[in-house]
Amino acid sequence: MPNLFDPLTLRGVTFRNRIGVAPMCQYSAEDGFANDWHLVHLGSRAVGGAGLVIAEATAVEARGRISPEDLGIWQDAHIEPLARITRFIREEGAVSGIQLAHAGRKASTFRPWSGRGAVDESQGGWPVVGASPNAFSDDYPMPQELTVAEIQIIVEAFVAAAKRADAAGFDVIEIHAAHGYLIHSFYSPLSNQRTDEYGGDFEGRIRLLLDITERIRAIWDKPLFVRISATDWVEGGWTIDDSVELAKRLKTLGVDLVDCSSGGVVAGVTYAAGAGYQVPLSDVVRNQAGIPTAAVGMITQAMQADEIIRNGRADMVLMAREFLRQPYWPLYAAAELHQTDRREIPPQYVRSF
C-alpha cells in the first residue's frame, strides 16, 4: 500500500503527496473577490509542502454565499485575483483546487466573529433559496423553495463557475455537496420535502448533484472531487449506505474522488466526535463503492495520517485546523515518518529544516 508521502496521480495531475489543505472559509472577501489574505493563507500552505491546496467554498452565484464576506466565482472579474493565487501555488509545487459551492438555506448569515444567524437585508443580507421552505434553525433565514426552472439556472451557474475555475488555472474542482448547504439539502430526506423530480425517493433527491456533476464533467477534463456528508448522524436521515450508493453513481459520471465529511443538515445534532472520527466513513465509501476517497476531521498527527493511507482507508487526507496551527505541517511530518527525501523545502527555508 502507498504511504502518506507517495505521489498520487488522477487524470494526469500528480499530487506530490497525499496531504491536502481542506477548504476553509476565511470570510475575508469583498463582493466575492480574492485578495492578499487569500494569497497568503493558501500560498503559505503550498510553501509548507502540501500536495493539494483547496480554496474555500466559493459561491457560484452571489446569493449562494454563506456570508457577505465569502469568496465568489459568479462573474468573470473574479478570475484574475484567483489566477494570481493558482500561479503561486503551482510555483511552489502544489496542486491548486477550488470548492464550488452554493449555501442554499444556510446563506446570508454572519461570519463567525461578527454575529450569529441571519444577516438582515439592511446589513447586506439577501433572500435565500432551498430545496423546501424550511429554515435550518430559528435564527436562520426562511428559504424560498426553488422551482424546477430555477434549479436549472443554478446548475448552469455551477457550469459557468467551472469554466471560470479553468480560466483561473485551478487543476482540481471539488463540488461542495455537504454540511447542509444547497446540494446536501436536496439529497437529505430531513430537509427535502419536494414531490417533484428533485424530491421524494433516493433517485429524486440525488438528481441535483448528479445533474451538476454530469454537466461539469462534460466541460472539465481534470480531477473532479465531490465533498459529501456521508451521514446526517440522525435517525431517518442520510446514511452511510446511501453514501455508498451515491458514490457508485458519481463514479460512473467520472468523479475521481469522494471527500467524506458528515453532518450539518439539521441543528443541534450530537455525535461522538474525536480523533479521526470521520475516517470510518471514508473507509466504507472507498472500499464498498470502489472509488478513491479523502478522509477529513480531527486528523492532526503524522502517524495517524500515514496509517489512514497505508491501511487503505483513504487515498488522501485533508486537514483544516491543523494547517491553521502549522502551515508547514508536511515538512515536520516527513521528518517524523522518516520520509525526508520526499520533502520539497523552498530554498529560502532549507537552512531551517
DSSP three-state, residue 263: coil
Exposed / middle / buried, residue 163 (Cβ in 10 Å: 0-12, 13-18, 19+): middle
CA separation for the pair 331, 340 (Å, rounded): 8
Residue in 181, 187, 198, 328 annotated catalytic: 181
CA distances for 46 relative to 15, 87, 120, 166, 248, angstroms:
12, 11, 37, 19, 32
Strands 129-130 and 8-10: unpaired
CB 190 within 8 A of CB 171: no
Q: How many other C-beta atoms lie within 10 A of the C-beta of residue 271?
A: 13
**E strand map for the chain:** 8-10, 13-15, 19-21, 52-59, 95-101, 129-130, 144-145, 172-177, 224-229, 257-261, 293-296, 316-319
**27 is a catalytic site residue:** no
Runs of H (alpha helix) within 5-67: 36-47
* Positions marked active-site: 181
